[in-house]
Structure 1
């Protein structure tokens, strides 16, 4: 089941990234830099609202997975209780955006050719679209907790394609942010409704009105509260650069910065299929005290995560200018923002590398570590970008984010090996971090050294794709737990022993 779920998640992730890239690149071309600045701000708000999924959603997934071990018949009541919480939070989100739209339009965003009233109404439409979509989180979390990743990803893929078609179709008819946001409201309604129908079919009584189980909610909300606080602070650290750039620089500059950030955030999503499939299994292993299986799963997930993150980041670091020119159609944007893209790629890669350790800590019921890490990094990162961005421009937030995520990676690594993996940190670093880093860096550096800058754009892109394939293959071969799954290669002793 694990392999099937990972495969399903990979397909869903591929479609999701294609949708995200299509909306970003097509939206930038169709709407222009300034109108796309509003669409980019929508992406920032979507990321901020994702604390529902990263916080409460992960709590719901863990609770549903544990419920299957203890008493599967009680899943319907559990889902209904979480649904009520989601409804209240989604309504609060819509009202909060509506109440703050005028203030954001007047004092935060810096449009040059767009009326303030238009910006304010755009923000209201954003809030409605996001609030409706966030309701999907409770249904997605339920399906993931039941390890129904195939169903979940079929829905994500189909509704994601609908979101892409509606979004680009609306912009083709009317290249405005308003048209785009109305299309996203329609897509959110279809998406959330589809997930609700799927949960209703596999969880009997999920929508039967009943008194909320306060004891169940009480048992999970302490964990959920800390988890949501952790998710909120972590998300704020990740989007603080976009918030600062949107507030201090023209909306057109923010539009291009948002385009570059979207490229990097799509890169981090490469880890989602693996972590989504591994987390419920980690929770079950922790619950059953199956330590050896947990160790094997953690090492395998770590190596796969590092291979994906380092390969994707290397492509953007070594060939970022070509990718920016492709998606923006502007050689000047490629020249000005290639260093920004490289810095953001490193920063986002470090964030992605924290995910296996974070999943392990969540499975062990420890959201406090992530919260402490986010508070420490945020306390250092936020003052730096607020003070220095007006002087140094868009490169400064990206460089500061490298430092913040590097510190977070060190904290997560230091704390992941305190309990069930105690004593394995050194082996993990030697087998799941350093070989992959060296293999990827060597592959990209070799190809980049023999690639002239004067090559045509399409040729440079073809070289980048070839270098990515070489780097990926080298990193997989450097990973003992991943080599064990390749035909004809011997399973490593460490995998048989549990780490």
Structure 2
């Protein structure tokens, strides 16, 4: 029951966070303007890029806590969590100093603001550093809760904090100080609250609250963590290179449009992040136990379910972006501009989402070096691809580059995982677990889009047809991927019940 509960609550958290961002966006645009929202988009990129300072410690903590609970070494995991808390505080201070010292240069030479004063942009960048520092330890304590199979507590905290932060920010902008600086101050305060709450939950979940600090124990996990740090650095560069390049090459307003498209596509994370956070500790525990049969069954079943849900949503975004954005922002011209960008970003993100499962298997099996090698290969491919396409096509080029690189990732990464980690995760498994879900969800989505075009329906009707097409794709995908008895066994496994007899 715990596996299903963690997945459901984590998915609920992703849905809530995405909905909050989508609902709050029109208010931010109204109170702050498009260029100021470009700064918020730049902060989101900066937040992701600075994850390189994590050095792979958060996933290391997840793996160590999960293994510690499985083999009865809980106290050592508690000591590691407490020790890393000090390390994260030091990293937060370093991030604050680095951002503060570089704020003037970023405001004057990197961001292409037209209407916002340079002083406003510089102050906003400085406050981004404060925000990053306040939120920095979140990943550590979130990782500890994942490893202890208490993802629900982290998700509930995230939902509560994000809802309160959005409401407070909108209220401050509406009735008090209407500035981008006020936005970042409120967000920083709620980030600090989230850290305090998560720290309390993580220490309770891991137990052994009196465990000592042990900086010498860092040597034990340093090898895994160092490789994970390399994976984090290269992986973040791969995922954020399009945004980094475009923030320099296009105007702040065009970059804001690109970030609007990215925000819309971020809805796909309602499946990817919860799936990884739920299955990573489970994979680690099964490998530590040596139960490869159960691992293969869980991997295949979870991949099929995930692919069905992910591609049903992704193809909905691809074919229904324009009516969705028109209703969301009430601006048909902006919708027309970001529709093709959103479509290609959705394709790339769906392909990237499928690769969470091989990546999860690589880490759980203790092979971060393999994940690092794949990430380096992707970085070598994406740099010239995104640069050339962005220079040629602007924001659309950035989206095309993201889709092309993730197609390459799916082909090469799957082959390498099947060759070096587990044979069941190779190309035959990809075709078996993903091929049917892609076809089953694509065909109804395409038919729905053609019907909308032929009948020239309005936005609401178009979304209704798209929703019916997505539900049809889900039904076809489940029916084509699972027999009734197999699907009942999968549901029983997720709920922690004995599997029904065949």
Normalising by structure 2, what TM-score? Answer: 0.91
Matched, 1:344 2:349: no
| Aligned pairs for 1:244-255 within 5 A | 244-255=245-256
> CA 1:170/1:21 → structure 2, altered by over 3 Å: closer, same or farther?
same
1:441 corresponding residue in structure 2: 442
Alignment of 1:9-24 (within 5 A): 9-24=10-25
In 2: Cα distance, 1:33 partner to 1:169 partner: 19
User: Aligned partners of 1:366 and 1:28: how far apart in 2?
Assistant: 44
Out of 480-489 and 140-149, give the one that drifted further: 480-489
Q: Does 1:194 align with 2:211?
A: no
Give the equivalent residue in structure 2 for 1:181. 184
Q: Distance in 2 between matches of 1:202 and 1:401?
A: 38
Paired with 1:63 and 1:280, the residues of 2 have a C-alpha distance of 9
Match for residue 327 of structure 2?
326
**Separation in structure 2 between the aligned mates of residue 55 and residue 29 of structure 1, nearest angstrom:** 39
SS in structure 1 at match of 2:271: helix
Deviates more, 1:388-397 or 1:130-139: 388-397
**Cα distance change on mapping 1:431 and 1:52 into 2, 3 Å:** farther
Give 3-state SS (helix, strand or coil) of 2:452's partner.
coil
C-alpha change, 1:312 and 1:478, in structure 2 (3 Å) is same
In structure 1, what is the equivalent of residue 86 of structure 2? Answer: 84
Q: Counterpart of 2:113 in 1: which secondary structure?
A: coil
SS at match of 2:283: helix
Contact 2:75 2:208 in 1 (8 A): no
Q: Residues of 1 paired with 2:318 and 2:146: CA distance?
A: 34
Match of 2:377 in 1: 376
Quote how far apart the aligned CAs of 1:187 are: 0.9
Cα separation, 1, equivalents of 2:86 and 2:483: 42
Question: Kindly tell me: are residues 490 and 100 of structure 1, through their superposed partners in 2, closer, same or farther at Cα, counting changes over 3 Å?
Answer: closer
Asked if the contact 2:418–2:427 (Cα under 8 Å) also holds between the matched residues in 1, the reply is no
Give the structure-1-normalised TM-score.
Answer: 0.92
Give the unaligned 5+ runs of structure 2.
494-498
Say if 1:229 and 1:206 are closer, same or farther in 2 by CA, change over 3 A: farther
Q: Is the Cα contact below 8 Å between 1:321 and 1:334 reproduced in 2?
A: yes
Distance 1:409 1:426 in 2: 10
Q: Is the 8 A contact 1:357 1:413 kept in 2?
A: yes
State the shift of 1:485 in Å: 3.5
Partner of 1:366: 367
- Match of residue 166 from structure 2: 164
Task: Describe the shift of the 1:279–1:91 C-alpha distance in structure 2 as closer, same or farther (beyond 3 A).
Answer: same
Q: Secondary structure at the match of 1:406?
A: helix
Give the distance between the partners of 1:488 and 1:61, measured in 2 at CA: 25
The structure 1 residue matched to 2:116, chosen from 100, 114, 117, is: 114
- Compute the displacement of 1:230 (Å): 0.9
Q: Offset at 1:125?
A: 0.7
Greater Cα shift, 16-25 or 479-488: 479-488
Of 98, 101, 117, which aligns to 2:100? Answer: 98
Is contact 2:7–2:278 with CA below 8 Å preserved after alignment? yes
Q: CA deviation at 1:145?
A: 0.8
SS in structure 1 at match of 2:423: coil
| Secondary structure of the corresponding residue to residue 14 of structure 1 | helix
Deviation at 1:190, TM superposition (A): 1.1
Residue of structure 1 equivalent to 2:466: 464
Contact 2:16 2:159 in 1 (8 A): yes
Alpha-carbon distance in structure 1 between the residues aligned to 2:489 and 2:64: 37
For 1:230-379, list aligned pairs within 5 A: 230-379=231-380
Tell me how far 1:370 sits from its aligned partner: 2.3
**How much does 1:64 deviate?**
0.8
Counterpart residue number, 1:218: 219
Q: Distance in 2 between matches of 1:329 and 1:175?
A: 22
After superposition, the Cα gap between the structure-2 partners of 1:207 and 1:97, relative to the gap in structure 1 and judged at 3 Å, is farther
- Cα offset for 1:81? 1.8
Alignment correspondent of 1:150:
152
Match of 1:454 in 2: 456
Q: Partners of 1:489 and 1:178 in 2: how far apart? A: 48
Range with bigger deviation, 33-42 or 328-337? 328-337
* Equivalent position SS for 2:115: coil
1:429 Cα shift?
Answer: 2.6
Structure 1: how far apart are the matches of 2:491 and 2:294?
21
Which residue of 1 is the match for residue 496 of structure 2?
none
